[in-house]
Amino acid sequence: MPGVVRFGVSLPAEVAKEFDEMIDRMGYRNRSKAILDAVKSFLAELKWTRGGSEPVVGSLSFLYNHEVKGLEEYLTDVEHEFKDVVTASLHIHVSEKICHKIIAVKGSAEDIKRLALKIGSKKGVEQLRVNISSP
């Protein structure tokens, strides 16, 4: 369905006021763009939580202790195992023993969820965050 669809939204006054204050602080010029962004985030989150074959893009970002024996080799093996969804990765040294890794992903929500669970459940991996968008 090409074009734009206009519709009304009813909100409690305090929620509308808070929304307007937040979007003003964020630099939005109008509510429509802010609502569009919020709806897109909502839809991407639903695709992510439902899993399935829905296509998504995003990143896995996590800290890990590189002194945990075998962890770096495991992470490399997992990236290769999921080569169909891993598009790039970035390794950042945080301290003597802690590294930050960011893995860019593109593929089905289910495959990315499996990748995230495989990484996040490993001893030495901390604070895994998943950022998903829907193309």
Q: What is the pLDDT of residues 7-36, one digit of tens each?
A: 888 999 999 999 999 999 999 998 999 999
The more confidently predicted of residues 95 and 1 is 95
Kindly state whether residues 17 and 81 are assigned to the same domain: no
Mind listing the pLDDT tens digit for each residue in 108-126? 999 999 999 999 999 999 9
Domains identified in the chain, total number: 2
Instruction: State the average pLDDT for the chain.
Output: 92
- Domain residues for 124? 55-133
CATH of the domain at 61: 3.30.70.1150
User: Is 103 contained in some domain?
Assistant: yes
User: Is 3 contained in some domain?
Assistant: no
Mind listing the pLDDT tens digit for each residue in 37-67? 998 888 878 877 777 788 899 999 999 999 9
User: Is 6 contained in some domain?
Assistant: no
User: Is 2 contained in some domain?
Assistant: no
Cα 63 to Cα 23, 93, 99, 122, distances in angstroms:
31, 10, 6, 12
Kindly state whether residues 60 and 112 are assigned to the same domain: yes
Confidence label for 1 from pLDDT (cuts 50, 70 and 90): low
Give the helix/strand (H/E) hosting 112.
helix 109-120
Kindly state whether residues 117 and 59 are assigned to the same domain: yes
The predicted model gives 67-72 an average pLDDT of 96
Kindly state whether residues 94 and 122 are assigned to the same domain: yes
User: Is 8 contained in some domain?
Assistant: no
Q: Look up the pTM and report it.
A: 0.77
